[in-house]
Amino acid sequence: MTSFQELQRRRAAESERIAISLARQKGERRSTIKGGETTVAWVKENLCIGCDQCTIVCDDSAIDLYSKEMASPLMNVPSNRKAKIIRDACTGCRLCVLSCPTDAITMIDR
Ligand code: SF4
Ligand code: SF4
Protein backbone atom coordinates (compact mmCIF):
# COMPACT_ATOMS: atom_id res chain seq x y z
CA MET A 1 0.00 0.00 0.00
CA THR A 2 1.22 3.50 -0.80
CA SER A 3 2.35 5.32 2.33
CA PHE A 4 1.24 8.83 3.28
CA GLN A 5 4.82 10.06 2.92
CA GLU A 6 4.99 8.64 -0.60
CA LEU A 7 1.75 10.42 -1.53
CA GLN A 8 3.13 13.68 -0.15
CA ARG A 9 6.33 13.21 -2.13
CA ARG A 10 4.36 12.57 -5.35
CA ARG A 11 2.14 15.57 -4.70
CA ALA A 12 5.14 17.85 -4.20
CA ALA A 13 6.75 16.51 -7.39
CA GLU A 14 3.55 17.03 -9.36
CA SER A 15 3.14 20.52 -7.95
CA GLU A 16 6.67 21.39 -9.06
CA ARG A 17 6.05 19.93 -12.52
CA ILE A 18 2.90 22.05 -12.94
CA ALA A 19 4.64 25.20 -11.69
CA ILE A 20 7.50 24.72 -14.17
CA SER A 21 5.06 24.02 -17.00
CA LEU A 22 3.01 27.14 -16.26
CA ALA A 23 6.15 29.27 -16.02
CA ARG A 24 7.30 27.99 -19.41
CA GLN A 25 3.90 28.64 -20.99
CA LYS A 26 3.83 32.16 -19.58
CA GLY A 27 7.33 32.81 -20.87
CA GLU A 28 6.37 31.59 -24.33
CA ARG A 29 3.17 33.64 -24.34
CA ARG A 30 4.95 36.73 -23.06
CA SER A 31 7.31 36.62 -26.01
CA THR A 32 4.31 36.87 -28.33
CA ILE A 33 2.87 40.01 -26.65
CA LYS A 34 4.27 43.34 -27.69
CA GLY A 35 5.75 45.35 -24.85
CA GLY A 36 8.62 47.54 -23.77
CA GLU A 37 9.13 51.27 -23.30
CA THR A 38 7.18 52.25 -26.39
CA THR A 39 4.04 50.52 -25.14
CA VAL A 40 1.62 50.97 -22.26
CA ALA A 41 -1.03 48.67 -20.79
CA TRP A 42 -4.68 49.43 -21.43
CA VAL A 43 -7.75 47.95 -19.68
CA LYS A 44 -10.99 47.17 -21.48
CA GLU A 45 -13.35 48.27 -18.75
CA ASN A 46 -16.24 46.05 -19.78
CA LEU A 47 -14.07 42.93 -19.39
CA CYS A 48 -12.54 43.85 -16.04
CA ILE A 49 -14.04 42.05 -13.03
CA GLY A 50 -11.94 43.85 -10.43
CA CYS A 51 -10.17 40.71 -9.27
CA ASP A 52 -6.97 42.56 -8.24
CA GLN A 53 -4.57 40.13 -9.95
CA CYS A 54 -2.96 42.78 -12.12
CA THR A 55 -2.25 45.10 -9.21
CA ILE A 56 -0.56 42.25 -7.36
CA VAL A 57 1.84 41.41 -10.20
CA CYS A 58 2.64 44.98 -11.24
CA ASP A 59 6.01 45.86 -9.67
CA ASP A 60 5.76 49.48 -10.75
CA SER A 61 2.59 50.52 -8.92
CA ALA A 62 1.12 51.38 -12.29
CA ILE A 63 -2.39 50.06 -11.70
CA ASP A 64 -5.13 51.45 -9.50
CA LEU A 65 -8.55 50.03 -8.77
CA TYR A 66 -11.52 52.37 -8.74
CA SER A 67 -15.18 51.82 -7.92
CA LYS A 68 -17.81 51.91 -10.60
CA GLU A 69 -21.55 51.48 -10.25
CA MET A 70 -22.89 48.31 -11.75
CA ALA A 71 -24.98 48.73 -14.88
CA SER A 72 -27.52 46.09 -13.85
CA PRO A 73 -29.90 46.79 -10.96
CA LEU A 74 -30.30 43.01 -10.63
CA MET A 75 -26.81 42.77 -9.13
CA ASN A 76 -27.17 43.41 -5.44
CA VAL A 77 -23.95 45.36 -5.03
CA PRO A 78 -23.58 49.13 -5.01
CA SER A 79 -20.34 49.18 -6.92
CA ASN A 80 -17.78 47.10 -8.71
CA ARG A 81 -14.04 47.62 -8.93
CA LYS A 82 -12.24 48.26 -12.18
CA ALA A 83 -8.56 48.51 -12.97
CA LYS A 84 -6.99 51.67 -14.35
CA ILE A 85 -3.45 52.02 -15.72
CA ILE A 86 -1.27 54.90 -14.54
CA ARG A 87 0.39 55.60 -17.86
CA ASP A 88 3.52 57.39 -16.65
CA ALA A 89 4.39 54.60 -14.20
CA CYS A 90 3.83 51.74 -16.67
CA THR A 91 7.09 50.26 -17.99
CA GLY A 92 5.47 48.01 -20.57
CA CYS A 93 6.57 44.80 -18.85
CA ARG A 94 3.38 42.87 -19.82
CA LEU A 95 3.03 41.01 -16.50
CA CYS A 96 -0.48 42.34 -15.99
CA VAL A 97 -1.56 41.00 -19.38
CA LEU A 98 -0.44 37.51 -18.38
CA SER A 99 -2.13 37.71 -14.99
CA CYS A 100 -5.57 38.87 -16.12
CA PRO A 101 -8.11 36.01 -16.08
CA THR A 102 -10.51 37.78 -18.42
CA ASP A 103 -8.01 39.07 -21.01
CA ALA A 104 -9.09 42.60 -20.16
CA ILE A 105 -5.61 44.09 -20.60
CA THR A 106 -3.82 44.70 -23.86
CA MET A 107 -0.61 46.53 -24.70
CA ILE A 108 -0.96 49.59 -26.91
CA ASP A 109 1.52 52.02 -28.42
CA ARG A 110 2.29 55.04 -26.25
S1 SF4 B 1 2.71 46.45 -18.26
FE2 SF4 B 1 3.89 46.05 -16.37
S3 SF4 B 1 4.26 48.11 -15.51
FE4 SF4 B 1 2.60 48.34 -17.01
S5 SF4 B 1 0.73 48.15 -15.79
FE6 SF4 B 1 1.23 46.09 -16.60
S7 SF4 B 1 2.44 45.08 -14.96
FE8 SF4 B 1 2.42 47.32 -14.52
S1 SF4 C 1 -6.54 41.25 -13.61
FE2 SF4 C 1 -7.95 41.83 -15.28
S3 SF4 C 1 -10.01 41.49 -14.45
FE4 SF4 C 1 -8.60 41.51 -12.69
S5 SF4 C 1 -8.63 43.66 -11.95
FE6 SF4 C 1 -6.91 43.48 -13.43
S7 SF4 C 1 -7.79 44.07 -15.43
FE8 SF4 C 1 -9.50 43.65 -14.06
Same domain, 17 and 42: no
Task: Please give the Cα distance from 87 to 63 (Å, whole number).
Answer: 9
Asked if residue 91 has its Cβ within 6 Å of ligand 1, the reply is yes
* CATH number (domain holding residue 70): 3.30.70.20
Rounded mean pLDDT of 28-45?
A: 89
Higher pLDDT, 13 or 18: 13
Split at pLDDT 50, 70, 90, the class of 55 is very high
Asked if residue 92 has its Cβ within 6 Å of ligand 2, the reply is no
Split at pLDDT 50, 70, 90, the class of 21 is confident
Rounded mean pLDDT of 94-105?
A: 90
Rounded mean pLDDT of 83-102?
A: 93
Task: Please give the Cα distance from 21 to 91 (Å, whole number).
Answer: 26
Residue range(s) defining the domain that contains residue 14: 1-32
pLDDT of residue 72: 60
Task: Please give the Cα distance from 42 to 30 (Å, whole number).
Answer: 16
Distance 62 CA to ligand 2 centre (A): 13
Ligand 1: residue whose CA is nearest its atom 7: 58
Average pLDDT, the chain: 86
Distance 26 CA to ligand 2 centre (A): 17
Q: Is the pLDDT of residue 78 over 70?
A: no
Domain count of the fold of the chain: 2
- The structure's pTM equals 0.75
